[in-house]
Amino acid sequence: MLNKDLIKVLSKIYKHQNSEYDFEKEVKKYKIPDSLTERQKEILAKSKFELNNIKDYSHNDVIPRLKKISENSALEAVVSNLFIKAVGSGFNRGVQPIFSYYFSKNMPQHSFQQFVKEEYQTEGICKVCGINETICQNDNENLYDLYIGYCRLGGYTEILLDLEEILKFNEPKATGKEKESFLNVIDIIEKASKDETPSALIKRLSKEKCLPGSSATSRTWIVKCLAELGILRNKYDLSYSIMNSFITYEQKFEWELDIHKNSPARADVEFPISGWRGELGLNKEIVDRIISNANKL
């Protein structure tokens, strides 16, 4: 697990100006900037953290590994506690795992199937899960992203990176105070006006200061994750929850195209969060289920 001091140092390194693009591997590699202080260089050296951990992934290798990990039923309680801690006390590393676990669990076992859509660049994308047929990743840059709460809510190989790391965590039990804070956030969201948008909700949560230890990045991804979990309903499938079922990349793509038709030209459209408005309310049954699962640890 990365400590806070190292994360602060990495925030100075993982920036565009410190990167070089490897055109052969199609991935960014990073160098230590001159701006680091001696203390920061010492923290990095002692951690033995590799800035560039470059790995090749293939869809047909990743899928069975994800399915194997998701067979570990104990992970359900672990990821529930991690998410409550993320919302309740700002443990940003806890945002991603609950999505990764249920995505892997409910995703069907399958081999790569090419997604095809006229007039769109879709080469190398699986129509079932959205994971690339082959891709090269800088795993440690991606790991840093997970620690600051920047998530991959969809078909990404980073889901495997995420789950493989949390398997090494000691049991992360949420405290009573973290659970209370989590439920308080849910109560605050429930007070949304009928026309409240996702971006307005994020701003309101920031103003309410109800997400301790959060940043603009983690608040954004917490809200997006709440939509994936189905706590925030979406107009395309009111019962949708990654905890209950799996929707293919192909279907999500079609829904996002429909959302685009009714959105400003430069809007950042994502399913399911873009399909939420305050009038749709919350699914409190999912909230109860997460709490119940967390209590099993």
Residue-level pLDDT at 60: 98
Helix axes 158-166, 75-89, angle to 10 degrees: 100
Residue-level pLDDT at 266: 67
CB 71 within 8 A of CB 107: no
Residue-level pLDDT at 285: 97
The Cα-based distances of 14 to 19, 32, 217 in angstroms read 8, 9, 15
CB 130 within 8 A of CB 117: no
Residue-level pLDDT at 260: 83
Report the mean per-residue pLDDT for the chain.
95
Residue-level pLDDT at 263: 73
Query: pLDDT tens for residues 261-270?
Result: 877 766 678 8
Nearest-10 Cα torsion for 110, 113, 117, 120:
100
Q: Which of 248, 18, 52 is nearest to 141 (CA)?
A: 52
Return the structure tokens found at 90: 């700002």
- Find the angle CA(273)-CA(275)-CA(277) to the nearest 5 degrees: 95
Query: pLDDT tens for residues 24-39?
Result: 999 999 999 999 999 9
Burial 86-106 (b: 16+ CB within 10 A, else e): bbbbbbbbbbbbbbbbbbbbe
Distance (Å, rounded) from C-alpha 52 to C-alpha 19? 10
Query: pLDDT tens for residues 210-269?
Result: 999 999 999 999 999 999 999 999 998 999 999 999 999 999 999 999 888 877 766 678
Phi, psi of 129 (to 5 degrees): -115, -20
Residue-level pLDDT at 181: 97
Residue-level pLDDT at 269: 82
Residue-level pLDDT at 61: 98
pLDDT along the chain (297 residues), means of 10: 96 97 96 96 97 97 98 96 98 97 98 93 95 98 97 97 96 95 97 96 96 95 97 94 95 90 75 95 97 96
Q: Which of 57, 9, 78 is nearest to 37 (CA)?
A: 9
Query: Rounded to two decimals, what is the model's pTM?
Result: 0.95
Query: So where are the chain's domains?
Result: 1-50, 176-294
Kind and range of the H or E element at 56? strand 54-58
Percent of the chain with pLDDT over 70: 99
Phi, psi of 45 (to 5 degrees): -65, -45
Q: Is the peptide bond prior to 272 cis by the omega test (within 30 degrees of 0)?
A: yes
Runs of H (alpha helix) within the chain = 4-13, 38-47, 59-70, 75-89, 97-106, 139-147, 158-166, 176-190, 198-208, 216-229, 249-261, 284-294
Helix axes 97-106, 216-229, angle to 10 degrees: 30
